[in-house]
Chain A
Amino acid sequence: MLLWNNAGVIISCRIMPAVALSTLVPGEAATIAAIHTEGPLHQRLLAMGFRTGKRIEVIRRARFSGPVQVRIGATDILLRKNEAEKIMVKKT
């Protein structure tokens, strides 16, 4: 959030902090800020369309802390909680 004074000088600058994708509740949308994964998982996420700056929406979450269903573009993807914790997002 940015606040200006009368002269147009920024007096306060509060950037929305990035949170883990796993903390989002169903219905919330966010922008991917960082993907902290490596190796095969990282490749797979990139190929599935996970890119920094892309819009991601949490559709639903399975019971008993099961997987989370997210939507990027036209693709719905299931992720386990472990994986969702490694993806940082900024709420929009």
Chain B
Amino acid sequence: MKRIALLGMPNTGKSTLFNRMTGASARVGNWPGITVELLTGKILLGADMVEIIDLPGIYDLHGFSEDEQVVRHFLHDNVPDLALIVLNATQIERQLSLLLQLRQLNLNMVVLLNMADEARKFGITIDTAKMAEALGMPIFLLSAKYGAGYNEALQAVTKALRYTTPGMAEQLRDQLEQDAHIESEMARILKHAVDLPARLPDNLTDQLDRLMLHPWLGLPIFFGIMYLLFQAIFLFGQPLQTGVNDLFAWLRDAAIVPLLAFLPAMLQGLLLDGIYNGVATVAAFVPLIVLFFLFMAIVEDTGYLSRAAFLMDALMAKMGLDGRSFVMLLMGFGCNVPALMGTRVMRSRSLRLLTMLVIPFSLCSARLQVFVFITAALFSPKAAPLVLFSLYLFSFGAAILTALIFKGYLPNSDPFVLELPPYRFPTARQMVLRGWHEVYHFIHRASKFIVAGVVLVWLLTHLPPSAAPASIDTLAGVIGGWLHPVFAPLGINEQLTIALIFGFVAKEIVIGSLAVIYGLGGEALGGALAHQLDWVQAYSFMLFTLIYTPCLSAIATLRNESKNFGFMLFVIGWSLALAWVTSFVFYQAARALGY
């Protein structure tokens, strides 16, 4: 199969073009010579199936950023049959350098000048015929977003594919060391084929930025937008999530339970409470992920994410993070899983890892359920909001502390020189495709891991068969017994320890598991907890619940996104250690003070 590589600088609409070409058929895949996954799609062009690879956007083929190295290694180890170069026509005077660098590789090339409509508004006129002649390669004007010029470009690509690629020089770097030559050639082509206005007209972006990046109003507007996003994900996400849960519960009672009725009780339990519940857990995340990425697509594609980086950078830089990390950290307060996936907008690996290390400390909605139940049971209505607020402070505190400790180990090697793209309207197609890709990715990668984890916890809490489920006689109870010396100094008893083992799977089931463990539900459970625990023990339990491993889905996502099992283990280990120390210090200090 012939291969087409999409190449270009960031913010050229390269991915929009890729989506237009491949639609929902795109998948991530591994390639020889590089460690990151790339999006690829297969389409029918003329009479043949061809594979299109979306390479990361780069500024410079000689560059040292991670993306630039990925592109170099990819081109070296997987010479494409055709390189489709996407340039942003509004920035032609800067983007030409990359094109000239690529031309030296002697690849089969077609050039697309994207955002032709926007360039016209700026008063930039490009004579494509003259430029094609000067460069010696076909050039087409295009609007990837609206599709103008798309068919002509596709025809040219089909035609160009008939020729074999002239080949690729082995001494890639040697060839690339000719900057001086590129500079003069750039000047020649620009003078010849491009007419740039001396000063660009004041446009809508400038006017919008005057408000959005206002010295005093910028930050309040940013927090307002974040608050709205957060509320919107909740507002639409919660009913959808409940709906999915109800659907799975209904399906279970209506169809699956009768279907499995002939099996022995133990096996039924394993299939229903283990595997089926695992699948339901995965499914419950789907609406949240779709919504999150619909909204993130708006924030990102409009260009606001770079503005958030501008506004928050002064504060985040001290923690080794940047403004985009802050957006993901905030979104983590809804659900850690999509926030972890969203770190993909950061192109530097160490910045991404550091952000992924701090996101799990965001007090997500599942943990909030646990805290609301316990504070309602053990604290007065007056004290409860303060208790909840203090937990949010601990959540931020744990994130800040972790970032400060580990920023030295994960130094950000990519320079903070960020392009501020003009505001653009995202297209609905782009948003929907994004949501679909992310859900597919999550289900494809995380489901086995999550189902296995749910089954494991089910086995722990139901074996040996003679013991009452989740009681002290089960394996989980035995483990709880072993762990008791570890948890006793935190004021956490054996029953709560078993609940923490459940909490490893998902925080949503902590209260449910306590109901099983105590054999009581709802108000009666609250009463029993209030009777057995004092507020110091309860707060210590909540602190531990807040800081230790968020849930199995978050762990599965961490492993997928970091592609590093060791990093995942490290995150689990660090959060457990921090949770233990925090609860220990709190519990012992409170006791020492006489509470």
Identify which of A41, A45, A62 contacts B310 (C-beta below 8 A): A62
Most buried by A among B94, B218, B313, B415: B415
Across the two chains, which residue of chain B brings its CB closest to A43? B63
- State whether B416 touches A79 (Cβ < 8 A): yes
Whether A43 and B64, one on each chain, are in contact in the complex, defined by CB atoms closer than 8 angstroms, is: yes
Q: Which of A40, A47, A66, A80 contacts B97 (CB 8 A)?
A: A47
B65 in the interface (beta carbon within 8 A): yes
Instruction: Say yes or no for A18: interface residue by CB 8 A criterion.
Output: no
Evaluate contact between B311 and A78: CB separation under 8 angstroms: no
B314 touches A (CB below 8 Å):
yes
Question: Does the CB pair A63–B215 fall under 8 Å?
Answer: yes
Which listed residue (A44, A47, A74, A78) contacts B309, Cβ 8 A?
Answer: A78
CA A52 to CA B30, docked complex, whole Å: 41
B313 near A41 (CB under 8 angstroms)?
A: no
CB distance from B99 to the nearest CB of A (A): 12
Number of interface residues of A (CB under 8 A): 29
Q: Which residue of A40, A45, A49, A73 is within 8 Å of B65 (Cβ)?
A: A40
Min CB distance B73 to A, Å, is 16
Map CB proximity to A onto B31-65 as digits: 1 under 8 Å, 0 otherwise.
00000000000000000000000000001101111
A65 to chain B, nearest CB (A): 6
Chain B residues positioned under 8 Å from A77 (CB to CB)? 417-420
User: Of all chain B residues, which has the CB nearest A46?
Assistant: B60
CB interface residues, B 87-140, toward A, < 8 Å: 90-91, 93-94, 97-98, 122, 124
Shortest distance between the CB of A63 and any CB in chain B (Å) = 6
Neighbour of B415 across the interface among A40, A64, A72, CB < 8 A:
A40
Please tell me if the beta carbons of B313 and A73 are within 8 angstroms of each other in the complex: no
Given A62-B313, A64-B314; A75-B94 close (CB under 8 Å): yes
Count of chain B residues with a beta carbon within 8 Å of a chain A beta carbon? 40
CB-CB < 8 A to B25: which residues of A?
Answer: none
Q: Chain B residue with minimal CB distance to A66?
A: B314
- Nearest-Cβ distance from residue B489 to partner chain A, whole angstroms: 41
Whether B416 and A80, one on each chain, are in contact in the complex, defined by CB atoms closer than 8 angstroms, is yes
The residue of chain A having its C-beta at the shortest distance from the C-beta of B98 within the complex is A47
A44-B420 contact given A64-B315, A74-B91, A80-B313, CB 8 Å threshold: no
- B200 touches A (CB below 8 Å): yes
Name the residue of chain B whose CB is nearest to the CB of A40: B64
- Tell me which residues across on chain B come within 8 A of A49, comparing CB atoms: 91, 93-94
Question: Residue B267 at the A interface, CB < 8 A?
Answer: no
Contacting B at CB under 8 A, from A15-59, are 39-41, 43-49, 59
Indicate if the CB atoms of B59 and A44 lie closer than 8 Å. yes
Give the chain B neighbours of A59 by CB distance below 8 A. Answer: 209
Q: Does B501 contact A (CB under 8 A)?
A: no
Closest-by-CB residue of A relative to B215 is A63
Q: Are A78 and B63 within 8 A (Cβ)?
A: no
By beta carbon, the residue of chain A nearest B90 is A74
Q: Chain A contacts of B313 at CB under 8 A?
A: 62, 66-67, 78, 80
Q: Are A75 and B97 in contact (CB under 8 A)?
A: no
Interfacial chain A residues near B94, Cβ < 8 Å: 47-49, 72-75
Q: How far is the CB of B578 from chain A (nearest CB, A)?
A: 28
Hey, which chain B residues are within 8 Å of A79, CB to CB? 416-417
| Distance in angstroms between the alpha carbons of A6 and B414 in the assembled complex | 56
Min C-beta distance of A66 to chain B, whole Å? 3
Q: Contact: B59 with A48, CB < 8 Å?
A: yes
Contacts of A47 in B (CB 8 A): 9, 59-60, 63, 94, 97-98
- B280 at the A interface (CB under 8 A): no
Query: If the complex has contacts A74-B200, A75-B91, are A43 and B60 also in contact, measured as CB distance less than 8 A?
Result: yes
Is the pair A44, B63 in contact by a Cβ cutoff of 8 Å?
yes
Residue of A nearest to B198 (CB): A55
> How far in angstroms is the closest Cβ of chain A from B115?
11
CB of B299 to closest CB in A, whole Å: 17
Q: A62 CB to closest chain B CB, in angstroms?
A: 5
Interface string of B149-183 (1 = CB under 8 A from A): 00000000000000000000000000000000000
Is residue B221 contacting chain A, with contact meaning CB distance below 8 A? no
- Chain B's closest residue to A50 (CB) is B417
Give chain B interface residues in 303-344, CB to chain A under 8 Å: 306, 309-311, 313-315, 317
| B576 at the binding interface (Cβ < 8 Å) | no
B298 within 8 A of A: no
Cβ-closest chain A residue relative to B101: A47
Query: Is B463 at the interface (CB under 8 A from chain A)?
Result: no
**Distance between A52 CB and nearest chain B CB, rounded to angstroms:** 11
Q: Which of B411-466 contact A (CB under 8 A)?
A: 413-422
CB under 8 Å from chain A, chain B span 205-251:
209, 213, 215, 218-219
CB-based contact B314/A39 at 8 Å: no
Q: In the complex, are the beta carbons of A60 and B213 less than 8 A apart?
A: yes
CA distance A16 to B62 in the complex (A): 34
8 Å CB contact of A44 from B213, B314, B417, B421: B417
Q: Give CA–CA (A72, B417) in the complex, Å.
A: 13
The reply to whether A63 and B416 contact each other, CB–CB distance below 8 Å, is no
Q: How far is the CB of B337 from chain A (nearest CB, A)?
A: 29
Q: Report chain B residues within 8 Å CB of A80.
A: 313, 317, 416
Q: Which residues of A contact B196 (CB under 8 A)?
A: 73
Q: How far is the CA of A73 from the CA of B59 in the complex (A)?
A: 16
Most buried by A among B9, B90, B418, B419: B418
Contacts of B418 in A (CB 8 A): 67, 77-78
Q: Which of B9, B93, B422 has the most CB of A within 10 A?
A: B93
Chain B's closest residue to A37 (CB) is B415
A35–B140 Cα distance when bound, in Å, is: 35
Q: Are A74 and B65 in contact (CB under 8 A)?
A: no
Nearest-neighbour CB distance to chain B for A43, whole angstroms, equals 5
Residue of B nearest to A72 (CB): B94
User: 4 closest Cβ contacts across the A-B interface?
Assistant: A66-B314, A47-B59, A47-B60, A64-B314
Give chain B's interface residues, CB within 8 Å of chain A. Answer: 9, 59-60, 62-65, 90-91, 93-94, 97-98, 122, 124, 196, 200, 209, 213, 215, 218-219, 306, 309-311, 313-315, 317, 413-422
A-B contact pairs, 5 of them (CB 8 A): A40-B65, A44-B65, A47-B60, A60-B209, A67-B309
Known: A40-B63, A40-B413, A63-B219. 8 other contacts (CB 8 A): A43-B59, A44-B63, A48-B94, A65-B314, A75-B94, A78-B306, A78-B417, A78-B418
